[in-house]
Structures are given as C-alpha cells and as structure tokens.
Structure 1
Amino acid sequence: MTSSTAVTLVSKCTILPSEQSSLSDLKLSVSDLPMLSVHYIQKGCLFTRPPFPITHLISLLKLSLSQTLTHFPPLAGRFVTDSDGYVYISCSDAGVDFVQASATNIFIRDVIGSIDVPDHVKEFFPMDHTVSYRGHFSPFLAVQVTELADGVFIGCAVNHSVMDGTSFWNFFNAFAEVSRGVKRIVRQPDFTRNSILNSNAVPKLPADGPKVTFAGDAPLRERIFSFSRESIQTLKAKTNYDGEINVVELMAKWSIDPTAEISSFQSLCALLWRAVTRARKFPSSKMTIFRTAVNCRNRLQPKLNPLYFGNAIQSIPTYASAGEVLSHDQHWCAEQLNTNVKAHNDVMVRKLIEDWEKDPQSFPLGNFDGAMLTMGSSARFPMYDNDFGWGRPIAVRSGRANKFDGKISAFPGREGGGSVDLEVILSPETMECLESDPEFMQFVTVY
C-alpha cells in the first residue's frame, strides 16, 4: 500500500468561532518570532471507532471545534506585519480548516503494529510543508479527521509561531472536553503579554518570508521506542549509582542540592546520546551536541502562568566530543545534561533573550554537521488526557513536519506511571546500528 493511495480527501471547509472575538492583537514574542521559519506542529491521536456513525462524529467535531475556538480566539486569526516590521496575531475570526478524510483500507494494527512508523501516518495530517510565516495568508490551525477501517485519527496542524507544545496540548484537550459535553473548559488559556518575552526587536526576514533550514527529502527512518516505568527506574538507578560512584557522597550531595540527582528523563537522554554517537561511528575528536527544548514558564521570575498561550521555550545545547561521550559512563553524560538544564534559570533565560535581541534571527532547526540530536516535545505533556466522548487515545503520532536526522520527540507512554515513548528519526544506517546496540535495546520494551 502506498501513502499516495492510502488516504482520500472527502471534504474540506472553514470553521468559524461560535462567538465573535473581543481579544486585541497579540504581538509575537522573542520566543514566537524565531519559529516563523519552522513547519506547523503536526500532532494527533489514534482512537478506536466511535459507537455512532462517522457522519455524526464529523458534525459533532465541527460544532465543538467552533465552540472551542471561542476560548482560543488567536487560533482563528492571521498574522499582520505593521510598517515597523512587528508581527502580530490579529484575532480576526477568519477561521480554521476542517478536513474529513477516509482510509478505510487501513486498520489500527497498520498504524501501531509495525517496527517503523508507516508512511501513511503522515497522510493523517493537513498542511504538509507549511512554514509558520505562511500564517499571514493561511489558517493557523487545520484539523483532519481520518476514518480508518476500525478507528479514527484526529490530527492537528498548528502554526508554531502561535503556540508551543504546552499550548498545543491545552488546546487539543479543551477540544476533547467540549466534544464530550463539558460546558466550561477547566484550563483556560492566558493571553497576557506583559513579560520579558515581549520585545521591540524586529527579526530579519527575507521579503518572501523565511525558509526551513533543513532538507526535507533526506532518506530517514522513524521508529517509536517504548520504555516502561520499570525499565526507566532501572535506568535511573544505573545512572545514579553504578560504576565508580560513591553512593554515600551522592546522598550527601543530594541532601544539599536535591536537583543534583539525575532525573529519569535525563538518564534516558544520556542513554540515547551514547547509543546514537556509537551508531554514527564518529572519530573521537568529533564534537556532538544534544539539544533540549525547555519550558521557560516556570523558570522566569516572576513565573509565567502555566497556561500562558504562545511559545515560552528555549533550546539548551550540551556539547561533548564523541570521545568524551563514549569513554565516560552513563552517569557522566547524564550529569552534563543535568548541569545544563539546572543552570537554565531566570538569569540564563534573560541572557538568551538579550542575545537574540542583538541579532534577531529565525531558529536554525536541523542537523547541520551530522552530529546533533534535538529533543522536542515532552513526556510530561497530557497527550492521553483527551477523551472526545468514547474513550482515551490508543496512540499519539506526528506528521512529517520538522523531521530530520537526529530529531527526537518525547511522548508519555499510554500506560502512564512514568513510562515514555521516544519518536526517533535517524538515517537508515544509524537506525540499524541503534537497533543492534545491546546497551540501548536492553531498556526498550518490545510489544
């Protein structure tokens, strides 16, 4: 089955908010503006088939999307750039796209049953290859509902300069709440723009808008690696206690600084960093970079509202040569990540803002010298906390947006309890080596 014939477009329409917006224009922040050069976010959930006709589902989702947009008026707007070069979200009620598609020759097992993520999953998402700058002319949001033989996939594409992953999943879960009849959504977004993220800097943009900074046609493999709660606990214990580490010294260190303990997620990142570095077969002198996206809402002083709407993320690079990564143990690699993340406090957030204001550029996303790993999304996002009326999702998947060799996305495991799924994008030869790496694969749960 080829992806070009797997999914058929049934209909497409524009959905308007059920109530007119009274929200004033929102100026893009120093965290929003760099995203003008990246693709729309493409994330969605796989569900079992609802116990009512698809026609009823489509009508329900159109109505609930219209009602949800009244809580998220920026999503129904467009970008406007003024004469000084400042970019705003105009909450103009211009509407969003709603796409109905059919793939009744695809079963749930065809989506989640193979080792690699199948190509047809990419067809479950609208607005392929759309760069966020296009929000001047195109909707910020498109929802695609794809009917499968025994299930339904609800996929969203959202402009990345309008929101980050935190805001995305708040919207997606609110959409689900409204669909199952909740009259007032629990987590109302915060649209205030009164923090250090607001700036008078004007980004340097080409006349026809910025372009993505990575090749979109490179041969890649995409696989979901699952890690159970028990496996991650074992990995965390190994990271913190194994080798030449003095447990007594560690306990004393943690009593002074509890954040000195290596977290489960940092342990997992270190495991991947070491394994991919081995798989890439670099000379020991080759500098590698592990880049992590961090949420700045709780790092700033004063803190931002956890439901701040927009982007409030920065990227933290951790550098180490291939020789350092592979000659040291798991604890050393994880400690480098831990030290960097811990140091990313209010002072560091403000410094990066000041640095960007001196040279306001689009975000350079990609793997420019073949030695980078870029971790996005978060295993803390409530990706399975959405029930549109007939049960929780079976799986979370993403589209082809912003994917390149070394791009990793963290998802919570469906069973919860600290389990994690990593969506890993690598060159075919690197992926093959990773799959045969016993140090890495011993922690992977194979279903």
Structure 2
Amino acid sequence: MPSSSTTIISKFTIYPDQKSTVKPLKLSVSDLPMLSCHYIQKGVLLSAPPYPFDDLVLTLKDSLSLALSHFPALAGRFTTDSDGYIYITCNDAGVDFIHAKAKHLTLNAVVSPGLVDVHPCFKEFFAYDMPVSYSGHHIPLAAVQVTELADAVFVGCTVNHAVTDGTSFWHFFNTFAAVAKGGGARKLPKSPDFTRNTVFNSAAVLPIPAGGPAVTFDADEPLRERVFHFSRESILKLKQKANSSSNGFPDSAEVIAKNVNDGWKTVNGNGNGRVAPMANGNGRNEISSFQSLSAQLWRSVTRARKLDAAKTSTFRMAVNCRHRLEPKMDPFYFGNAIQSIPTVASAGDILSRDLRFCADLLHQNVVAHDDATVRCGIEGWEKAPRLFPLGNFDGAMITMGSSPRFPMYDNDFGWGRPLAIRSGKANKFDGKISAFPGRDGNGSVDLEVVLAPETMAGLENDMEFMQYVTESVCLA
C-alpha cells in the first residue's frame, strides 16, 4: 500500500492563554517508569467542517491555547534537580501545533469496510518520530496535528506518557474539543487535579541509564494492525459463555442481558455514551464482559502463535488505580495512576480448558487489585526503581492498554462526533492491544490488535474468535 505522503503546511508554538500558577510537579512512582515509553498518540477522524479549513486551523489554535490554561503542565518541560528528581516545570514553554494535508485521501479510502488492516496514513497524522518520554526535557510535552483529507479531517494528539495516562489524556482531549465547540465554563469538563500528595509520591530516585532511556522493544519489527469490532450482542454471548451455569452462574440470555457490560450505566444520565461500573446481582463474582472478551483474545492469539503446551503465556492488563485506593484519589487526578496486572497460564491450559478458565484468571486478578495490592506494588517499585519493560520478550505475551470506558467519542469540535478513533505508530509491538469504545456505543468495543503477520493470519482464521467479530457501524 503506498504512503499517504502527508504534507506539512505550517507549524506553530501554542502558548497557554493565561500564565501558569502551578508549581513544579514531581514525577511519581507511576509516572517515572513511562520515561522509556513513546509518547501517547491518539486521535479522532471527523467529517469535513462546514466552513473553510483555514478557519478551522485558527479555531483549533485558539482553542488549544485556552485548553492549555486548564492543563498548564502540558505546556511545560521536564527538569531534573541535583538529587535526581524529575519535575514538570509549568513554565508556559508551549506545545507544537501542526497543520498538514493529505488531500488525495478520502474518508472511504482510509476507513472503508473493505480495508482489512489499519491504513498506514494514520502513522503520519501525528507529530514527532517516536521519541521516548524522557525527551520531554528538551521537546514539548504535547503536540496537536490537524490533517486535512479530501472530505474529512483528522485531529491527532501526541502527549508525553510520563505526564499522562489514558484517563488524563482523554480529559485533556475532551476539554480541547469542548472549548473548540464553544462551550462556556459550565460546559467544560472538570478541571484537572494537580495534587501530588498521594501514595504515588515517593522519595525514591529512578536511575537513568547513560544516554537516557530507550524503548525496550524492536520498533522496526514487521507487524500487522487491525481493528476488530465487537457489538453489544457479540460481547453478551461471550459474557454468557464465560459465566456458564457449570460454575453456578445463570446461562439464561435474558438474565445475563440485564447485567451486560459489567452493569454499566450512563454517567449522570446525560446520554453521552460514557459508562461507569455499577453493582449487579452477581457482584464481584461475575466475570465482566471485557474480561470475557480479553479471555477469548488470549485463547485465540495463543493458538495462532502455535506455542508449546508447556510455554507460559502472560496477559498484561493496565488498570486505573484512582478508585482502587482508600481513600480514593480524585477521578480527575492529572498524571499516571496506573499499574499493570500480569496474569499467567501455560499455553496447554489456555487451549485445553474452556473460556471460563482464562476469563476467571483475569477476573480474579482484577478483583484482587485493591488498595493493599496497589500499595504493595508501589513499595516494590521503591525498593527497586526501574523503567517499564514494554514488549513481547518471550513470544508469548499480550499487553492490553487503553479502555473502552474512555470517552473517546465525546469529542465534538462543533460539527459532529468522531467517525473513528485511531492511534499512531508509537508503542506498537507484537501482542500490543488497545481497547476503544465502539462508535455505536451501548457497550460495543473495538480492539486495535497489533501482531506479527503470521500470528495475525492465524487469528483471522480462528473461527472461535472471528464468530464474535462484527461489522463496524456505518459512518454515514
């Protein structure tokens, strides 16, 4: 497939509308390990705006400036003091704004139902050539690239991963979109919480290797990338299967339907598609819809990799710790507040036992990740500070990131909600999975799956997996 040949038209430095009053923010136990990871790259594909593109560029530049006044940390830079502590200095140094064109590309060409793999153009729709987050000492901590297509526009946001996790990233993106739409103060999301007096604040110092950190995986290995869509109905079937009656759980589709998607409910009753966990009849003993989907992916990828039965496979799942701590952190805490939950099993057990086996392993680990477990993880890191080892080191790992609960489609810049969510080329390796909400909402999920070409081919031929994959909602 040919390159998209994206052309950079202009590049600007955008400064916050108001001077920052935020004091330097010390990187936490959850921030520091991300210094060896690439910047986060996520963006939204939108229909063409109903006014000239040059006007859109001006609007987005002004809106970004206003949004940065709410998120002054993103306009800062890293500094390291004499003791080795790294801070975000909120010095209003600014972020990059790039205007680009790829007018030869149409909406149908880049997200056509007939397009199997993710179109390579999206790798060019983000700023920077995959710097690690430690680079925030000398380059901006964030950048926005707006790319004009023949009949669409892509707004790509690149943010330092040692500054934000997914929760904080989408909080900023939502605010940026709300400002662009013309929302007053009452319509904007809640302001971020820059508090640093949390359990993640630590006196531990992370040793930085000579020359700075480097990514821990081969960024040039051959890969394929697909987005698989799972409707509410498909996920309902998986959840029912994982919660089978053989273990004392009801197998009635009618009963399971009442609790589909973890009993998710619409937040604040505003109908915007955002979801949050809600107690249900089976409580913490019920395997969730997302755990069921993850378990099926684990089984099918393990089969596609043709692993030896004795080989141990690891499924890593990133979890938000804000609500797991006692007392709970502010849900709008700005920074990283995540930990990785590893679940392990032999390839033989994964494939010889039923879906519930894998789903229950994932479920039990997630349920057990409580306040004590979070604090234990922090203490363990403080005893041996280290960078986060991202990658597939033994050929049998899967890493699940992002979340279908993130409000990715709540980004209306003034003329409609996104048509699709896409990421860039950063942090991609064999076994990297990112979970997005489906555009049709209602508990649907998109999985962005990155695998070695031969493994992807095996997954595509795995009928146990593909029977649950459904066609994405029409973009029209």
Normalised TM-score (structure 1): 0.97
1:88-107 CA deviation, whole Å, 9 max, x = no partner?
Answer: 00000000000000000011
Matched, 1:96 2:98: no
2:266 paired residue number: none
Q: Note if contact 2:240-2:251 (Cα within 8 Å) is conserved in structure 1.
A: no
Offset at residue 241 of structure 1 (A): 1.5
1:2 paired residue number: 2
1:157-207 CA deviation, whole Å, 9 max, x = no partner?
Answer: 000000000000000010000001112123211111111100000001113
Query: Aligned match of 1:240 in 243, 263, 266?
Result: 243
Q: Note if contact 1:279-1:434 (Cα within 8 Å) is conserved in structure 2.
A: yes
Structure 2: distance between partners of 1:365 and 1:387: 33
1:14 paired residue number: 13
Structure 2: distance between partners of 1:182 and 1:392: 15
Structure 2 counterpart of 1:296, one-letter code = C
1:366-413 CA deviation, whole Å, 9 max, x = no partner?
Answer: 000110000000000000001001100000000000000000000000
Offset at residue 214 of structure 1 (A): 0.3
Structure 2: distance between partners of 1:357 and 1:67: 37
Offset at residue 128 of structure 1 (A): 2.2
Structure 2: distance between partners of 1:47 and 1:257: 40
1:53 paired residue number: 52
Structure 1 counterpart of 2:2, one-letter code = T
1:42 paired residue number: 41
Q: Note if contact 2:171-2:189 (Cα within 8 Å) is conserved in structure 1.
A: no
Offset at residue 256 of structure 1 (A): 9.3
1:288 paired residue number: 313
Structure 1: distance between partners of 2:467 and 2:281: 33
2:289 paired residue number: 264
Structure 2 counterpart of 1:173, one-letter code = N
1:156 paired residue number: 157
Structure 1: distance between partners of 2:424 and 2:251: 46
382-391 vs 256-265, greater mean Cα deviation: 256-265
1:219-273 CA deviation, whole Å, 9 max, x = no partner?
Answer: 000000000011111111111116x43447999xx99961110000000000000
Taking structure 1 as reference, are residues 283 and 51 closer, same or farther at Cα in structure 2, changes over 3 Å only? same
Offset at residue 208 of structure 1 (A): 1.9
Unaligned ranges ≥5, structure 1: none
Matched ranges for 1:337-376 at <5 A: 337-376=362-401
Unaligned ranges ≥5, structure 2: 256-278
Does the residue aligned with 1:6 lie in a helix, a strand or coil? coil
Structure 1: distance between partners of 2:157 and 2:471: 28
Taking structure 1 as reference, are residues 93 and 229 closer, same or farther at Cα in structure 2, changes over 3 Å only? same
Percent identity of equivalent pairs = 62
Offset at residue 118 of structure 1 (A): 1.3
Name segments (4+ residues, structure 1) moved above 4 Å. 248-251, 254-257
Structure 2: distance between partners of 1:440 and 1:248: 23
Structure 2: distance between partners of 1:45 and 1:31: 27
Does the residue aligned with 2:247 lie in a helix, a strand or coil? coil
Offset at residue 429 of structure 1 (A): 0.5
Structure 1: distance between partners of 2:189 and 2:82: 39
1:295-333 CA deviation, whole Å, 9 max, x = no partner?
Answer: 000001110000000000000000000001011100111
Structure 2: distance between partners of 1:117 and 1:369: 26
Taking structure 1 as reference, are residues 66 and 256 closer, same or farther at Cα in structure 2, changes over 3 Å only? closer
Structure 2: distance between partners of 1:6 and 1:226: 28
Structure 2: distance between partners of 1:257 and 1:421: 26
179-188 vs 279-288, greater mean Cα deviation: 179-188
1:335 paired residue number: 360
Matched, 1:219 2:222: yes
Aligned pair count? 443
Structure 1: distance between partners of 2:21 and 2:330: 21
308-317 vs 113-122, greater mean Cα deviation: 113-122
Q: Note if contact 2:174-2:189 (Cα within 8 Å) is conserved in structure 1.
A: no
Taking structure 1 as reference, are residues 280 and 20 closer, same or farther at Cα in structure 2, changes over 3 Å only? same
Structure 1 counterpart of 2:388, one-letter code = F
2:439 paired residue number: 414
Structure 1 counterpart of 2:196, one-letter code = R
Q: Note if contact 1:6-1:106 (Cα within 8 Å) is conserved in structure 2.
A: no
Structure 1: distance between partners of 2:251 and 2:450: 38
1:386 paired residue number: 411
Q: Note if contact 2:75-2:94 (Cα within 8 Å) is conserved in structure 1.
A: yes
Does the residue aligned with 1:197 lie in a helix, a strand or coil? coil
Taking structure 1 as reference, are residues 358 and 61 closer, same or farther at Cα in structure 2, changes over 3 Å only? same
1:74-128 CA deviation, whole Å, 9 max, x = no partner?
Answer: 0000000000000000000000000000000011112211110011111011112
Q: Note if contact 1:227-1:445 (Cα within 8 Å) is conserved in structure 2.
A: yes
Structure 1: distance between partners of 2:370 and 2:457: 38
Taking structure 1 as reference, are residues 83 and 118 closer, same or farther at Cα in structure 2, changes over 3 Å only? same
2:200 paired residue number: 197
Matched, 1:404 2:429: yes
